[in-house]
Amino acid sequence: MSDRLVQLRLLVPALCGVLLLRAAHLQLVRGAAYLRLAEQNRLRLVPEQAPRGLIVDRRGATLATNRTAFRVAIVPQETADVGAILARLGMLLRRRPDLLERTFLKERSLAFVPAVIVPDVPKETALLIEEDRAGLPGVLVKPEAARHYPHGSSAAHLLGHLSQPMAEELPLLKRYGVRPKELVGRAGLEQLLDAALRGRSGGLMVEVNHRGRQVRLLGRRSPDAGARVTLTIDAPLQSLVEQLLGAQPGACVVLDPRTGAVLAMASLPSFDPGVFVGPEPQAAAQLLDDPRSPLMNRAAVGVYQPGSIVKLITAVAALEHRLITLQTTVTCTGSITIGDRTFHCWNRDGHGPMTLTDAIMQSCNVYFMSIGLRLGADRLREALEHAGVAQKSGWPLEEQAGHLPRRRLTQGEVALLAIGQGEILMTALRAALVAAAFANGGWVVQPWVVQAVAGRPVAASRARRRLPWSNESLAAVRGGMREVVRNPLGTGHRAFNPSVALAGKTGTAQTHVPDRTHGWFIGFCPVDEPRVAMAIVTEYGGSGGDLPAEVARAVCEYVSVSDA
Amino acid sequence: MKSLRGWDLGLVGAGIALVTISAIAMASAASTVSGGLALRHGLWIAIGLALFVGVASTNFHRWIDTSGLAYGVSLILLAIVLAAGTVRFGATRWLSLFGLSVQPSEFAKLATTLLLARYLAGQTSPLPARVALTALALVIPSALLVFVQPDLGSSSIVLAIWLGMAWVAGMSRKTLAGCAAALMVLAPVAWQLLKGYQRDRLLAFVNPHADPLGAGYTIIQSTIAIGSGRLWGRGWFAGTQNQLSFLPEHHSDFIFSVIGEEWGFLGCVAVVGAFAWLLFRMLHIALSASSPQGRLLAAGVFSWIAYQAFVNMGMVIGLLPVVGVPLPLISYGGSSMIMLWIALGLVQSVSRTDAMR
């Protein structure tokens, strides 16, 4: 018996040795790693989103703000019978329980993390759920800040919208402090100024127990609200032009010809940027599929045949090259034959003898085609290039350059180019800049829209380019533009209002669709000391003397009473 | 110092060292369970010590003489537990007596030890295989009744007591090898008899990360707790795994990880060292006992405590699968604490009886 006991005595150090070796491995060799795991167990970072910065217009009127959205979430570990809870919630929310369950299964992660099943319910519904607390164990209603655009679809293309980042963008965005499911600016100024608008999110460091319940608060960093962004936009003016365009697809750009500050930039049809963060994701999908392309900013991205508004550039070029003077007359017989082709003036009876002023006022095709031919392709193209027709303007948001032909043109094509037909495309933004150049005495300004971020003025490069055109030539064309509106024979007389001095030029551009024309109006006011320059285009909207001219008049009437 | 009128002070000292560690650890571990738990634990320690002194003052031979009766009573109590026990933790282990919950399986371990000491003492050495297997047959009813509770851990302790005592009584290596072979053949059968959660625990031991929130959770949290203690520990009442309840059963089966977390590697060394000291003292008493009964009794208690302590600490630090056995003299539990002190009292009695001769 004793020898067996002595053997057992060897067992004791062996077993103790095994235990202590293992303990030494866990505690001494890998202790630091396990300590880190223990800290991860007990510490939770609860992010606190910073309120996104406001976007306001030049007078401080709110264009984008934050409202309280009520999110309905379920804490899995506190809900015994999810099916029953969802059935009850379905009744309160008027939603199908099986759809709620699908969302719940998709959103649930850890037992203590609330799974959001409805991101945004009305306040009344939130109150109903709160009243039924006892019947809905584990259901939370969390108030959270959601982006709100009080003017709905107004200036939507400028403001842009928010959306959840896509999976592949996350690694890049993470460096800027963006977490999954956090909304980021997706288009427009929301995207351009995302970093400033987002601010810096704060958070709580919380010690939790094994059920994820908060035991104590260890620290807090309060979020820094996003910066307030002030735009050069004049919100009432913006709404006004949008209302006037109404259901007519098109665009309108109003800017200050002295600085390039954009006062209004409308594009129709528009959309409500709130739907991208709203409760119904399918509404956003519908916008993307809409054949009328409501998401496209027609003002800066839409390129259209400019038609007769180009005649102003043709006129300046002819004056500069001393091919004509104000006294030169061309007789319009109603048509002009170039080679074997005959082109008709819009007035088939003929305008008779025309001076430059008459020709601009009545938009005589024969006059401008004949001086276009005298200019020739190169000099005409040079003038159009000076005006920047096919160039981007330096607009900070998405922009499309226009188009000019690069190939050799026939005589007929040169004549057509002189009246803005054929292979030439322009944006409304560029057209407004051309109008501004006539208004400010020959300067091509750079358009801008952000006036201040967090109260500090944005030092935008106020670069401007001087056109190589003399003041006399520009003044001669301005005189014609004045008559377009003032003279009862002028094509833009509908824009006439005796109390405001508006100068302009209409355009009615033929398109590849027979008998459908784009209507244009570019102009500025007041004539003597222009404060605004503008361009209005209506897509397949008929004559430029109709709706575009009316919009222009309304803009001038607004400007004459505002303090802009 | 070693012996004062037959009292083995080393045995007493090691036992008191263990319950002192237990009281310190329990104060922290029980604080998150319920307020009175640590105090109740202290009360059990006091009752245990009193019983130890009482039992040690008696002659252990008289206890061995009553072993047949004690074993019979233990079987009846186990049967009653099965029939009418309170269901807890999905297992039926407790019996309500006078408002107290008692665990008859703890009593069964003591009764088994006494019965085997009596039976094996009369046998020749080396022990014939037939006798060793008869001894096994004697304890199988007890082991089975515990196994179906179901309590895999306690059931295996009964078998460990038999193994240790039969080995000391002179069981041949051949018999041992045969038993091992039989165990391997029977293992698949036993696997079929295990409950789902027991299988999960064994599988979780093989790969705890397969089911980190289920069966593997306890093992992972326990390893994190012990590892995070490093050399000096995170401090009394400062173990976050314990205090924030990431560690389940931290006052009972997983008390060792609380010690490892709050007192670090040094705390682990203290616990393992105190056990080694206790076990060496018991072997010393067994070696110096003049009667085979005394020698076998001490060897039986040695096997009981050595096996249970190793299995418990082994599972807590992730060396062995999670089977529910408490850490002797340290985990919370009145029945276990009292029975262990009675068993130590009997070992002390062996020492005293020898000294008197």
pLDDT in tens, B162-188: 999 999 999 989 999 998 998 888 888
From B356's Cα to the closest Cα of chain A, the distance in A is 21
Q: Please report whether residue A75 resides in a domain.
A: yes
Same domain, residue pair A107 and A241: no
Same domain, residue pair A203 and A216: yes
A333 touches B at CB < 8 Å: no
Q: Are B230 and A31 in contact (CB < 8 Å)?
A: yes
Same domain, residue pair A224 and A314: no
Same domain, residue pair A183 and A276: no
Q: Please report whether residue A40 resides in a domain.
A: no
Phi-psi region of A508 (alpha: psi -120 to 50; beta: other; left: phi over 0): beta
Taking all residues of chain A, what is their mean pLDDT, rounded to a whole number?
Answer: 87
Q: Please report whether residue A25 resides in a domain.
A: no
Q: Please report whether residue B267 resides in a domain.
A: yes
pLDDT, average across residues A150-172: 82
Residue B196 has pLDDT above 90, yes or no: no
Q: Are A34 and B224 in contact (CB < 8 Å)?
A: yes
From B41's Cα to the closest Cα of chain A, the distance in A is 25
Q: Please report whether residue B3 resides in a domain.
A: no
Cα separations (Å) of A516 from A415, A540, B251? Answer: 21, 5, 86
Q: Two tokens at B77?
A: 């109590």
pLDDT of residue A98: 84
B264 touches A at CB < 8 Å: yes
Q: Please choose, from the candidates A275, A270, A273, A276, the residue with its C-alpha nearest in 3D space to the C-alpha of residue A298.
A: A270
Same domain, residue pair A239 and A221: no
Strand bridging mode A214-221 / A202-208: antiparallel
State the alpha helices, DSSP H only, in chain B. Answer: 9-30, 37-57, 60-65, 67-84, 104-121, 129-147, 152-168, 173-193, 196-206, 216-229, 240-243, 255-288, 292-316, 334-356
B223 touches A at CB < 8 Å: yes
Same domain, residue pair A410 and A443: yes
DSSP state of A228: P
pLDDT of residue B1: 39
Q: Please report whether residue A16 resides in a domain.
A: no
Shortest CB distance from A20 goes to which of B228, B240, B269? Answer: B269
B172 by Cβ neighbours in 10 Å (0-12 / 13-18 / 19+) ranks as: middle
Q: Please report whether residue A366 resides in a domain.
A: yes
Question: Which residue in B120, B222, B240 has the most chain A C-beta atoms within 10 A of its own C-beta, making it the best mutation to test that interface?
Answer: B240
Q: Give percent above pLDDT 70 in chain A.
A: 93
Query: How many domains are contained in chain B?
Result: 1
Is B256 strand, coil or helix? helix
B292 touches A at CB < 8 Å: yes
Q: Sort out which chain B residues have CB atoms less than 8 A from A42's CB and list them.
A: 240, 244, 246
B169 touches A at CB < 8 Å: yes
- pLDDT tier at B355 (50, 70, 90 boundaries)? low
Question: Which residue in B116, B175, B228 has the most chain A C-beta atoms within 10 A of its own C-beta, making it the best mutation to test that interface?
Answer: B228
> Rounded CA gap, A309 and A182, in Å?
46
Q: Are A209 and B245 in contact (CB < 8 Å)?
A: yes
Residue A46 has pLDDT above 90, yes or no: no
pLDDT of residue A223: 82
In sign, the C-alpha dihedral spanning B65, B71, B77, B81 is positive
> Rounded CA gap, A491 and A361, in Å?
6
- Domain-ending residue, one of A231, A250, A266: A231
Q: Are B224 and A15 in contact (CB < 8 Å)?
A: no
Strand bridging mode A184-185 / A162-163: antiparallel
> Rounded CA gap, B354 and B357, in Å?
5
Backbone angles phi, psi at A336, to 5 degrees: -140, 135
Chain B: residue whose CA lies nearest to A25 = B227
Q: Please report whether residue A7 resides in a domain.
A: no
Chain A, chain B: beta-carbon pairs less than 8 Å apart: 130
B238 touches A at CB < 8 Å: no
A475 touches B at CB < 8 Å: no
Q: Sort out which chain A residues have CB atoms less than 8 A from B227's CB and list them.
A: 26-27, 30-31, 33-35, 37-38
Q: Please report whether residue B97 resides in a domain.
A: yes
- pLDDT tier at B357 (50, 70, 90 boundaries)? very low
Taking all residues of chain B, what is their mean pLDDT, rounded to a whole number?
Answer: 87
Q: Sort out which chain B residues have CB atoms less than 8 A from A26's CB and list them.
A: 223, 226-227, 260, 317-318
Residue B174 has a CB neighbour count (10 Å cut-off) of 9
String of DSSP letters for B127-179: BPHHHHHHHHHHHHHHHHHHHTTT-HHHHHHHHHHHHHHHHHTTB-HHHHHHH
Query: What's the domain range around A157?
Result: 45-231
Residue A278 has pLDDT above 80, yes or no: no
Same domain, residue pair A160 and A58: yes
Contact A335, A345 (CB under 8 A): yes
Q: Please choose, from the candidates A311, A318, A315, the residue with its C-alpha nearest in 3D space to the C-alpha of residue A375.
A: A318
From A9's Cα to the closest Cα of chain B, the distance in A is 7
From A65's Cα to the closest Cα of chain B, the distance in A is 41
Query: How many domains are contained in chain A?
Result: 2
Q: Are B319 and A20 in contact (CB < 8 Å)?
A: no
Query: What's the domain range around B105?
Result: 9-355
User: Minimum mean pLDDT among A119-128, A254-263, A500-509: which range?
Assistant: A119-128
Q: Are A16 and B295 in contact (CB < 8 Å)?
A: no
User: Minimum mean pLDDT among A93-102, A274-283, B165-174: which range?
Assistant: A274-283
String of DSSP letters for A72-115: EEE-GGG-S-HHHHHHHHHHHHT--HHHHHHHHHHH--STTSPE
Q: CATH number, domain at A155?
A: 3.90.1310.10
A21 touches B at CB < 8 Å: no
pLDDT of residue A431: 95
Residue B87 has pLDDT above 60, yes or no: no
Annotate B43-72 with b (16+ C-beta within 10 A) or e (fewer): ebbeebbebbeebbeeebbebbeebeebbe
The per-residue pLDDT for range A378-412, each reduced to its tens digit, is 999 999 999 999 999 989 899 999 999 989 989 99
Q: Please choose, from the candidates A349, A378, A355, A382, the residue with its C-alpha nearest in 3D space to the C-alpha of residue A368.
A: A355
Q: For residue A563, give every residue at least 6 positions away whose Cβ sits within 8 Å of its Cβ, in sequence order, or none.
A: none
Q: Please report whether residue B329 resides in a domain.
A: yes
Same domain, residue pair A242 and A129: no
Residue A454 has pLDDT above 60, yes or no: yes
> Rounded CA gap, A167 and A181, in Å?
10
Q: Please report whether residue B347 resides in a domain.
A: yes
Phi-psi region of A196 (alpha: psi -120 to 50; beta: other; left: phi over 0): alpha
Cα separations (Å) of B10 from A124, A530, A548, B59? Answer: 75, 108, 108, 20
Q: What is the ipTM of this complex?
A: 0.91
Q: CATH number, domain at A340?
A: 3.40.710.10
Q: Please report whether residue A390 resides in a domain.
A: yes
Peptide bond into B104 cis (omega under 30): no
Same domain, residue pair A252 and A225: no
Residue A69 β-bridge partners:
A144
Question: Which residue in A2, A7, A8, A211 has the most chain B C-beta atoms within 10 A of its own C-beta, making it the best mutation to test that interface?
Answer: A8
Cα separations (Å) of A185 from A63, A66, A174, A178, B9? Answer: 15, 14, 14, 11, 78
B126 touches A at CB < 8 Å: no
Contact A209, A229 (CB under 8 A): no
Q: Sort out which chain A residues have CB atoms less than 8 A from B310's CB and list them.
A: 15, 19
Same domain, residue pair A301 and A181: no
B286 touches A at CB < 8 Å: yes
Which of the listed ranges A21-35, A112-126, A187-201 does the model predict with the highest average pLDDT?
A: A21-35
More reliable by pLDDT, A167 or A316: A316
Of chain A, the end-to-end C-alpha distance in Å amounts to 111
Q: Please report whether residue B4 resides in a domain.
A: no
pLDDT of residue B6: 75
Q: Are A28 and B230 in contact (CB < 8 Å)?
A: yes
From B262's Cα to the closest Cα of chain A, the distance in A is 12
Q: Please choose, from the candidates A341, A192, A188, A214, the residue with its C-alpha nearest in 3D space to the C-alpha of residue A276.
A: A188
The pairs formed by B24-27 with CB atoms below 8 angstroms and a separation of 24 or more are: B24/B236, B25/B255, B25/B258, B25/B259, B25/B262, B25/B263, B25/B330, B26/B251, B26/B255, B26/B332, B27/B236, B27/B237
Q: Sort out which chain A residues have CB atoms less than 8 A from B283's CB and list them.
A: 5, 8-9, 12
Same domain, residue pair A263 and A163: no
pLDDT of residue A382: 93
Q: Please choose, from the candidates A461, A304, A296, the residue with its C-alpha nearest in 3D space to the C-alpha of residue A394.
A: A461
> Rounded CA gap, B229 and B267, in Å?
9
Q: Please report whether residue A340 resides in a domain.
A: yes
Q: For the whole model, what pTM was predicted?
A: 0.65
Shortest CB distance from B319 goes to which of A5, A22, A30? Answer: A22
Q: Sort out which chain A residues have CB atoms less than 8 A from B260's CB and list them.
A: 23, 26-27
Residue A175 has pLDDT above 70, yes or no: no
- pLDDT tier at B109 (50, 70, 90 boundaries)? very high
More reliable by pLDDT, A13 or B187: A13
Chain A: residue whose CA lies nearest to B303 = A8
pLDDT of residue B213: 55
Q: Please report whether residue B2 resides in a domain.
A: no
DSSP state of A447: P
Residue type (1 letter), A89? L
The per-residue pLDDT for range A200-232, each reduced to its tens digit, is 877 777 777 776 666 777 777 788 888 999 999
Contact B253, B287 (CB under 8 A): no
Is B39 strand, coil or helix? helix
Same domain, residue pair A87 and A197: yes
From A24's Cα to the closest Cα of chain B, the distance in A is 7
- pLDDT tier at B212 (50, 70, 90 boundaries)? low
- pLDDT tier at B88 (50, 70, 90 boundaries)? low
B167 touches A at CB < 8 Å: yes
- pLDDT tier at A126 (50, 70, 90 boundaries)? confident
